[in-house]
Structure 1
Amino acid sequence: MKKENFFTIPNLLSFYRLLAFPWILFLVVSKKENLFSIFLVINLVTDILDGLLARILHQRTEIGARLDSAADDLTYALAIIGIFVFKYEVLEPHLQSFIVFIVFLILPIVLFLIRFGRLPSFHLYSTKIGGYIEGIFFILLFSGNFIVPYYYFMVVWGIMASMEHIAIQAIIPDVRSDVKGLYWVLKEELRQRKRE
């Protein structure tokens, strides 16, 4: 992975999401649900675009991976806060499963911080797909559509992706960015052992 120019389009999109965080949080505190929904969707769209553009334009960098991960964490924190502020009544019957889901979203980050002293930036396929699934859920929810089977699909996928993240943390000896998934990590470990 390259460690070059900070001023790339993908990095600027991630940086926008970081800068937008206080504004969107203000919209939550001010109880401006419509504006909150619009800016949350903008954040979710820029999340998709930054990764896509980084690959297409060959502008993947270590700083970009870290920026993207930090911006993702803040965007999903905003979405969860927004759900509790604006959509609590809709979610209340499913509150226990949602709390379990949140714990599994936070757990890999906390464990990574404890082990490696920084935020993770794995960008696993499972968490990327999970991000799309969650983004669609947030968009549906804030447009007035709570689809129970889809909600539980999102929860189960999120928990499984978090478990994969935790398993990878337990296997790798040092910090890495842009890890595809557990299969590739195990394959690489087997290759290493054969060399030794």
Structure 2
Amino acid sequence: MQSPRISYYIVNGVTMCRLVSAPFLLLLAIMGLYEWYKWCMAASFFTDAIDGPLSRRYHVESVFGSRLDSVADDVTVIVSAVALWLFYPEFIKGNWIVIAGLFALFGIQTVAALVAYKKVTSFHTYLAKIAAVTQAAFFIAFFFKIGLIKILFILAVVITALQLVEEIILVIMLPQWTANVKGVYWIWRTRTQIAHSKQSGMET
């Protein structure tokens, strides 16, 4: 049986690989090494697909792991967006309003978190997980010329925008920094249940 401590280091090591690889990916994009970039990018997104299931499989979920995963996700997507601009500037120019809007929402969410918590969030909502999948699918489809690029782009934009709006609302709803939050609905339902329990207690 594998030691929980060893599992903890393995899972966080997988996430750390994604974070550490970001500058390397950026360098590949700047140097114009397209083939190297796309395969390394795919490998980076693959680590995002496995670190979550691994942490749940071996029961090593932690606040540090959540924060590390959130930072690694954000950095990977930002580097991927920069690479897209370097390799395909015409795509960025043709969709700059939408992309600028997403970065604006990301900026608002980040500033709101820093003001409220003095650090970035690690909510890991259901929407965030879906957004991560659609973002990875779009970038991989785009760089590997798989197809359905326009549809995946629209899906990634819409779901990412919804995720960022939800996280802004969560920052407003939650006075204290909290990791691994399912979403606004679940926070609202929990508060409603607590309020009903208190009301029932007062009536009895």
Q: Using structure 1 for the length normalisation, give the TM-score.
A: 0.90
Q: Please, which moves more after superposition, 149-158 or 66-75? A: 149-158
Aligned-pair CA distance for 1:105? 3.2
Which amino acid is the alignment partner of residue 163 of structure 2?
A: A
Query: Is residue 66 from structure 1 mapped to residue 55 from structure 2 by the alignment?
Result: no
CA distance in 1, matches of 2:42, 2:107: 22
Aligned-pair CA distance for 1:12? 0.8
CA distance in 2, matches of 1:194, 1:45: 43
Structure 1: gaps spanning 5 or more residues: none
Q: Using structure 2 for the length normalisation, give the TM-score.
A: 0.87
Query: Is residue 78 from structure 1 mapped to residue 79 from structure 2 by the alignment?
Result: yes
CA distance in 1, matches of 2:111, 2:39: 30
Q: Match of 1:165?
A: 167
Q: Please, which moves more after superposition, 119-128 or 146-155? A: 146-155
Aligned-pair CA distance for 1:195? 5.4
After superposition, give the CA deviation of every residue in 1:63-99 in whole Å (9 maximum; x if it has no partner): 1111111111111111111111112223432221122
SS in 1 for 2:95: helix
Runs of at least 4 residues of structure 1 off by over 6 A?
Answer: none
SS in 2 for 1:173: coil
Q: Which has the larger radius of gyration?
A: 2
Q: Match of 2:99?
A: 98
Which amino acid is the alignment partner of residue 38 of structure 1?
A: W
Q: Match of 2:135?
A: 134
CA distance in 2, matches of 1:21, 1:103: 22
Which amino acid is the alignment partner of residue 152 of structure 1?
A: I
Q: Match of 1:12?
A: 13
After superposition, give the CA deviation of every residue in 1:100-141 in whole Å (9 maximum; x if it has no partner): 123223432222122111111100000100100110000011
Structure 2: gaps spanning 5 or more residues: 199-204
Of 186, 189, 193, the match for 1:187: 189
